[in-house]
Amino acid sequence: MKISQELWLKKNGHPKGMLGKSHSEETKRKYSKSRSGELHWNYDGSFSDETRKRQSESAKKRIEDSKEKQRLVEMSRDYHKNNDVWNKGIKEKTVKCPHCDKVGGNAIMKRWHFDNCKNKT
């Protein structure tokens, strides 16, 4: 079973991959701050402009990715919508047995029902 980072942390009290080694107070402080604080990746100002630039670029890329994902979701939604229409077109080709009022697909009824209808006279 795959355990999410969040669940793992709750269960074990430390992030996955730390192998239970206890953190220094400093690390704990940084970690909790990075989880909760704004400016979490640059709260102590130790990141360079270059890093900041890369951060913002990767954020931009994430947005592009999510747009692309959204586009694919919409495409697949359209596909299913069209597919529904297509299915309905098929479903509408039904026939009703004049003997017992049973309704079914044209081909299936002709093949299996009409000749065997128990109400057929």
Site track for Zn ion across 46-85, x = CB under 5 A: ----------------------------------------
Question: Whose structure tokens read 């697949």?
Answer: 76
The correct pick among 9, 18, 95, 97 for binding Zn ion (CB under 5 A) is: 97
Dump strand ranges (E) for 10-105. 94-96, 103-105
**Residue 117 in contact with Zn ion, rule: CB under 5 A:** yes
**Residue 100 in contact with Zn ion, rule: CB under 5 A:** yes
Cα(64)–Cα(109) distance, rounded to whole angstroms? 52
Do 120 and 99 form a contact (C-beta atoms < 8 A)?
Answer: yes
Residues that bind Zn ion (CB under 5 A): 97, 99-100, 102, 117
